[in-house]
Every structure is written in structure tokens, then in C-alpha cells.
Copies of this chain bind each other. A is one copy, B any other.
Amino acid sequence: MTTEKFRGVFVPVLTPFKSDLTPDVDRFVAHCRWLLENGAHGLAPFGTTSEANSMSVEERMELLEAAIDRGIPAAKMMPGTGTCSIADSTQLTKHAVGLGCGGALMLPPFYYKGMTDEGLFASFSEVIQRVGSESLRVYLYHIPPQTNVPITLNLIEMLVKAYPDTVVGLKDSSGDWNNTESVLKSFPEFIVFPGSEGFLLQGLRAGGSGCITASGNVNPGDIRKVYDSWQTDRADDLQARISLARKTIQAYPLIPALKRIVAHFHDDPDWERVRPPMLDLNAEKSASLLADLKAIDWKLAPKLEAVA
């Protein structure tokens, strides 16, 4: 099997939970389908936005299997498979590759701080070798606000040199454009996804491959328009529109806010539930969020229209 490199708008799929806080398979699969039908090129389930780090290895594997069993194309998925433990990361990555996933988005081991690039290289290297599959495509996940364990240019260089056909890209959730730009310049062949649509147009113009963005869970259509139109004269206006929506949403705790939006606009209150240590938005904040969205004339993902 050949594994194509990813490009486009990818969504770290929100994970719905039942009242006992177990993952809600039905709502998860329905949401995956809705995202792909409404603008997403692909899915990056079990990312930060997915509350993946609040879930067990087994819960993640069950959800992934269920989605693929029910028709979500594995080739369009790059599940998060990086954990603190080589054993867990290997199990998750092997499982994803076995199911035919087009890639794996890998956090560095994030508990221990101040590790050397050599130590982080050894960690990724162990996982890659234990998975031992030519089909594996690793997208490194740089998200220092959560991990405090950066994926440096030096580490990327070591990994690309050792595993040129396997380590093919990076999600940059640093929120620091200078870092994204450095990666793009240093590794022109690398698939680089900014971790927010706020950098989508800027990224595409600099050689980026799209974005992997939390707010894609509610705004995939408009974000897709920027991707499809980036070389047209509409691009800046379309980017301004998605940046405004993002700014409005992230004035609130992002994951509870996104779930609140899904719950409200899909008229499905069960969607609101988060796993501790997160908490649902309270009534006041929920009302304020919805009012803010109304004020900018935002609605849930309008159907895709033909784009330039």
C-alpha cells in the first residue's frame, strides 16, 4: 500500500462522552462523518482537542476501530498516538497503521522535562522501530504550551535523517509563527501544518500544507474555503472571517466552548460534556459565547459551496 502525504484541513475530532463519561461511539462516528462532508480533508482524532490525554489506550483504540468499521476512511485519518510511554505509543501506532491510517500524529513523551534532543530522538526511534512498518507516516506534534517539551529543528533534522520516508511532517501548535516559518525554511520537503487556522493563509503562502485546527470541529466549511481559494483575491477576506470566528471562540476555554457550540447548533445537549480536569462552560459563559457568535453573524458550518 502506498501512503500519500497529507494536505489540507484536518480536524482534531472532539470526543463526545456519555453521562458516565465513557466515549460515545455513535456521536463520535456521526461527527467524523459530518466533518468530512462539510469541508475537512481529513481527521486527526485523539489530539489535544479530543481530550485524548484524558483517555486510556483502550478507549482510543476502540473509538478508532468503530469509526473505521462504520465507514470513516482510514486513509484520511492521522490519529494521535504519542504518549509518555514507549509501550503505549507503540501499541497505539501499530494499531493505527494496522487499520490503514494514513498517518500518526505523535506527541513527544511529555512528562519528563529538560530531556535532550538525543533522548527524544531515542524515544521516537524506539517507537518507529517497534512498529516496524513501511506504511507508517509520522507527523511530529509540537505543542510546547501543553508539553513543555519542544520538537526542535535539531530533533527534526535527526529524525528526518534517520527515517526520511517515515517522519514526514509536523503539526506546529506553538502559536509562534516564527517557529513555523523556521521549520518551513529548514525542511522544504516537510509537511507542515500550523495548529490553528489563524495561520492557514500565511502558512500556505510560505509553503505550508494546510492546518490541523480545533475550531475545524465547528467551522470546517469556512476554513476549507480559505484552503481552496488561497491563491485568489478572496483569500484575505476569507481568512479574516475565520480568524474572527476563532478569536471569538477562543476567548473561552476552547474545548468546552467547542463542545457547547456543537451541542447548541446540533441541538444535542449531550455533546456538551467534557472529562475532568475540564469542566463544562457554565450557563453564563455559554450564553455569552453564543451571543458573541451571533454578534459576528456566525452559524454552524454552512454547507460547502463551490469555491474558486
Contacts and interface: CB of A to CB of B under 8 A. Distances in A.
A272 to B, nearest CB: 15
B113 A111 contact: no
26 contacts: A21-B126, A53-B85, A54-B86, A54-B109, A54-B112, A55-B85, A56-B87, A57-B57, A58-B87, A59-B87, A86-B276, A108-B277, A111-B146, A112-B146, A112-B277, A112-B278, A115-B277, A118-B279, A119-B277, A119-B278, A120-B276, A120-B277, A122-B276, A122-B279, A148-B148, A149-B277
Given A110-B111, A115-B278, 14 more contacts: A53-B85, A55-B87, A56-B85, A58-B87, A59-B87, A108-B277, A109-B276, A111-B146, A111-B147, A119-B276, A122-B276, A122-B277, A123-B277, A125-B276
Contacts of A88: 56
Contacts of A109: 53-54, 276-277
Nearest to A113: B146
A275 interface: yes
A84 interface: yes
A203 B228 CA distance: 63
A251 B296 CA distance: 56
A122 B273 CA distance: 13
B54 A276 contact: no
Of A85, A145, A146, A149, chain B has the most CB atoms within 10 Å of the CB of A85
A125 B277 CA distance: 10
A53 B84 contact: yes
Of A21, A111, A118, chain B has the most CB atoms within 10 Å of the CB of A111
Interface string A95-116: 0000000000000111111011
Contacts of A275: 86
A149 B53 CA distance: 14
Interface in A20-77: 21, 48, 53-59
Nearest to A111: B53
Contacts of A111: 48, 53-54, 110, 146-147
Contact of A53 (B53, B57, B112, B119): B112
B59 A123 contact: no
Nearest to A123: B276
B57 A56 contact: yes
Contacts of A118: 279
Q: Which 5 A-B pairs have the closest CB atoms?
A: A53-B111, A122-B276, A123-B276, A119-B277, A56-B87
A246 to B, nearest CB: 18
A106 to B, nearest CB: 13
